């Protein structure tokens, strides 16, 4: 497929696709590919979702918008990792925004520059009305690859499928598991797996586990200590603590760190974010020495009860690698429904940090590295792998 070439009198050649500088709504310019739909040429416009209030309005009103579309999530990505963000849409400036596809530009000397929708997000559905609109926006995004300002373009939709003409290929697949909270708490509990969930909740209650929630620095420190333990078991460095501080600063009361303790010692913790009527479980960690006490199950049950009290209708339990049967089973035991989320990329799959030999080398290093070195590695690496 030949590279896209801008056409039309309104194009400003001085402003490249996905500029590194921030452009206000008033400076927004349409970019067109010359593609014609019917007899009408479709212009594509780029807006700054952190400045243009139309993006927040679209996210608030769109049925398929998630926490990962939220302006606050974008603010946290920018604050912690320096990622710039752009929305592409067929709606001109000063008109109602009815569609949009949000990207972050990940600029890295280690892994190359690419457009991702969105980094560190389990999924990010394009907010579009039709497959034709999606394909038009993706063809526009492809221009950054063809002019060599980006290595690749990646999207992470739940339902949408790019058209063959976009050139995007499916590169990764995950399970996404979500729990319907519209039943009563009694009905939900009844449907939990008797041995793997119900029995463990009762065990946690018999152990008189202590429970704390909020977003204080003390709770963050408890969470982060457990995260280091967990990531070591997974042969990975922990995410930078600055990332979690950025999330807390962005989401405030809508973010909760929940900690279960035994005799004053933290044994399990999870981080959840509330967006409209959905609570999203994003991170979890625990001390393996105390798994038999049921701390993680105890925290999920507390989360579900709290979500019910707030009138929430869904618990998004997040993505799982298809080769992680333990995590998949854990979520299934709650009665969560499972779907497949496919990640799409142009041009195709490119080698990255997760090649087998690199992962084996990383696992060996993690196994012997002290905590301070693991934290330093996370601070260095995560900016490059979003």
* Per-residue pLDDT tens digits of the chain, which is 386 residues long: 333 333 332 222 222 343 332 333 333 444 544 343 433 457 999 999 999 999 999 999 999 999 999 999 999 999 999 999 999 999 999 999 999 999 999 998 888 899 999 999 999 999 999 999 999 999 999 999 999 999 999 999 999 999 999 999 999 999 999 999 999 999 999 999 999 999 999 999 999 999 999 999 999 999 999 999 999 999 999 999 999 999 999 999 999 999 999 999 999 999 999 999 999 999 999 999 999 999 999 999 999 999 999 999 999 999 999 999 999 999 999 999 999 999 999 998 665 545 555 556 666 677 767 889 899 999 999 999 88
> From CA 89, how far away is CA 359, in angstroms rounded?
38
Task: List b or e across 177-195, with b for residues whose CB sees 16 or more CB atoms inside 10 angstroms.
Answer: bbbebeeeeeebbeebeee
Are 154 and 163 contacting, i.e. CB atoms less than 8 angstroms apart?
A: no
Alpha helix (H) residue ranges in 215-370 = 217-233, 241-251, 295-309, 325-332, 356-368
| DSSP code of residue 263 | T
Q: Which residues contact 216 (CB under 8 A, 6 or more apart)?
A: none
Alpha carbons within 13 A on the beta-carbon side of 47: 26
Per-residue tokens: 105: 């530009």
Are 178 and 314 contacting, i.e. CB atoms less than 8 angstroms apart?
A: yes
**What does the angle CA 281 – CA 317 – CA 377 come to, to the nearest 5 degrees?**
55
> From CA 357, how far away is CA 62, in angstroms rounded?
42
pLDDT of residue 111: 87
Residue among 191, 159, 128, 87 nearest 340 (CA): 159
Per-residue tokens: 134: 């999606």
pLDDT of residue 33: 45
- Other Cβ atoms less than 10 A from the Cβ of 93: the count is 17
Given the DSSP bridges, would you call strands 314-321 and 278-286 parallel, antiparallel or unpaired?
parallel
> From CA 70, how far away is CA 293, in angstroms rounded?
36
- CA-to-CA separations, 253 to 191, 230, 273, 274, 324, in angstroms, rounded: 30, 26, 9, 9, 32
Are 168 and 162 contacting, i.e. CB atoms less than 8 angstroms apart?
A: yes
Are 293 and 207 contacting, i.e. CB atoms less than 8 angstroms apart?
A: yes
- Could you identify the residue written with the tokens 């989360």? 303
Please give the backbone phi and psi of residue 220, each rounded to the nearest 5 degrees, phi first: -60, -40
- Other Cβ atoms less than 10 A from the Cβ of 11: the count is 15
User: Which residue spans within the chain are E strands per DSSP?
Assistant: 30-31, 36-37, 40-41, 44-47, 84-89, 101-106, 114-117, 153-155, 169-180, 210-214, 255-262, 265-275, 278-286, 314-321, 337-346
Reduced to 3 states (helix: H, G, I; strand: E, B; else coil), residue 310 is coil
Reduced to 3 states (helix: H, G, I; strand: E, B; else coil), residue 372 is helix
Rg over CA atoms, the chain = 22
> From CA 223, how far away is CA 34, in angstroms rounded?
51
- Other Cβ atoms less than 10 A from the Cβ of 114: the count is 23
> From CA 13, how far away is CA 16, in angstroms rounded?
7
User: Please, what are the domains in the chain?
Assistant: 25-167 (3.40.630.30), 177-342+354-384 (3.40.630.30)
| DSSP code of residue 153 | E
Q: Which residues contact 304 (CB under 8 A, 6 or more apart)?
A: 179, 181, 185, 188, 315
pTM, two decimal places? 0.87
Q: Which residues contact 187 (CB under 8 A, 6 or more apart)?
A: none
Per-residue tokens: 386: 């979003």
């Amino acid at each position: 497929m030949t590279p896209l070439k801008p056409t039309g009198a309104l194009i400003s050649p001085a402003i490249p696709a996905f500029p590194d500088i921030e452009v206000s709504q008033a400076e927004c310019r349409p970019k067109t590919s010359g593609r014609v739909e019917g007899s009408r040429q479709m212009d594509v416009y780029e807006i700054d979702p952190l400045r243009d209030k139309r993006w927040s309005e679209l996210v608030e009103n769109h049925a398929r918008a998630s926490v990962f579309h939220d302006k606050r999530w974008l603010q946290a990505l920018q604050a912690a990792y320096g990622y710039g963000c752009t929305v592409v849409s067929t709606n001109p400036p000063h008109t109602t925004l009815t569609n949009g596809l949000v990207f972050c530009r990940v600029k890295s000397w280690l892994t190359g520059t690419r457009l991702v929708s969105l980094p560190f997000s389990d999924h990010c559905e394009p907010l579009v009305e039709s497959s034709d609109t999606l394909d038009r926006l993706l063809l526009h995004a492809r221009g950054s690859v063809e002019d060599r300002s980006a290595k690749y373009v990646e999207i992470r939709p739940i339902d949408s499928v790019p058209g063959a003409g976009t050139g995007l290929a499916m590169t990764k697949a995950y399970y996404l598991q979500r729990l319907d909270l519209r039943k009563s708490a009694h009905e939900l509990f009844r449907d939990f797996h008797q041995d793997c969930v119900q029995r463990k909740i009762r065990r946690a209650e018999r152990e008189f586990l202590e429970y704390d929630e909020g977003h204080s620095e003390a709770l963050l420190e408890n969470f982060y200590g457990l995260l280091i333990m967990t990531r070591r078991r997974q042969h990975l460095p922990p995410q930078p603590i600055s990332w979690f501080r950025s999330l807390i600063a962005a989401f405030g009361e809508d973010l909760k760190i929940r900690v279960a303790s035994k005799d004053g010692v933290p044994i399990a913790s999870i981080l959840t974010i509330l967006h409209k009527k959905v609570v999203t479980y994003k991170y979890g960690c625990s001390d393996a020495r105390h798994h038999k006490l049921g701390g993680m199950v105890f925290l999920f049950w507390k989360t579900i009860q709290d979500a019910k009290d707030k009138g929430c209708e869904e618990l998004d339990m997040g993505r799982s690698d298809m080769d992680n049967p333990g995590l998949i089973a854990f979520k299934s035991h709650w009665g969560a429904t499972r779907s497949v989320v496919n990640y799409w990329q142009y041009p195709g799959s490119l080698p990255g940090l997760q090649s087998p030999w690199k992962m084996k080398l990383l696992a060996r290093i993690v196994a012997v590295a002290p905590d301070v070195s693991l934290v330093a590695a996370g601070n260095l690496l995560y900016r490059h792998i979003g």
